[in-house]
Amino acid sequence: MKIDLTGKTALVTGASRGIGEAIARRLAETGAHVLCAARSAERVNQLAAEIGNATGVELDITAPDVRERIGALLKERPIDILVNNAGVTDDDLFIRMKPEAWTKVLSTNLDSAFHITQEIVKKMLRARWGRVINISSVVGLMGNPGQVNYASSKAALIGFTKSLALEIGSRNITVNAVAPGYISTTMTDALGDEARQKLTERIAVRRLGTPDDIAHAVVFLASEEASYITGTVLNVSGGLYT
């Protein structure tokens, strides 16, 4: 199935590396113009130049003026597809978790999605077309020791997704979430062979996921072929969680 998003504009937050970068690249391959957003202007400008059909956007999603920055982008062009991908972790056992770690993770992973999405959805409602795709996590579904703040933020993002989908579905706007499992990153690459083997044994398909595994799911949900799918959580974890 060849997905064609020519003429659409997509904003991907956290696009400087990993899953966000893969999503930006795959969306550009469909013909969409991609706004690659991240704090590092140098990296997103480099990525946009590599992709070709893209623009680098320096954006701190936790900044007090994030709504104004999104408004400025919307004056330049409509945003048809929003991928709320940027996020952080600050892990610790609950009993030792500092309030600042809780606030930082919830602010970045959840509050920013509220501020950015609300601004963009206002325009989508007028256009009567849109795709909002939130990158949650499998730990938002199953929990994980040492990640009470992160799991809470990702579980809340699922509630956000389902509720917003019910509110705006009649305007031809879909809202879905993708819940990645263990994805191969520089962090998992640093694991020893034994730790990596134990991790892999927990996954039904016996491998870690790749950023492209998540990107392909996002591209599908952004397409017209997924127009009857909304309020759902696409679990892309290789069977880690079923």
Q: Residues with catalytic annotation?
A: 150
231: its two tokens = 């309020």
| Identity of the amino acid at 175 | V
3-state secondary structure of 142: helix
3-state secondary structure of 67: helix
242: its two tokens = 């079923």
Beta-carbon contacts of 236 under 8 Å, excluding residues fewer than 6 positions away, are: 178, 179, 180, 181, 209, 213, 214, 217
The number of C-alpha atoms within 13 Å of 233 and in the hemisphere containing its C-beta is: 24
CA 158 vs. chain centroid, Å, equals: 12
Which residue's structure tokens are 């991609």?
34
3-state secondary structure of 232: coil
| Identity of the amino acid at 238 | G
What single-letter DSSP state applies at residue 96?
Answer: G
Any bridge partners for residue 56, and if so which? 36
Query: Residue 109 in contact with residue 160, Cβ under 8 Å?
Result: no
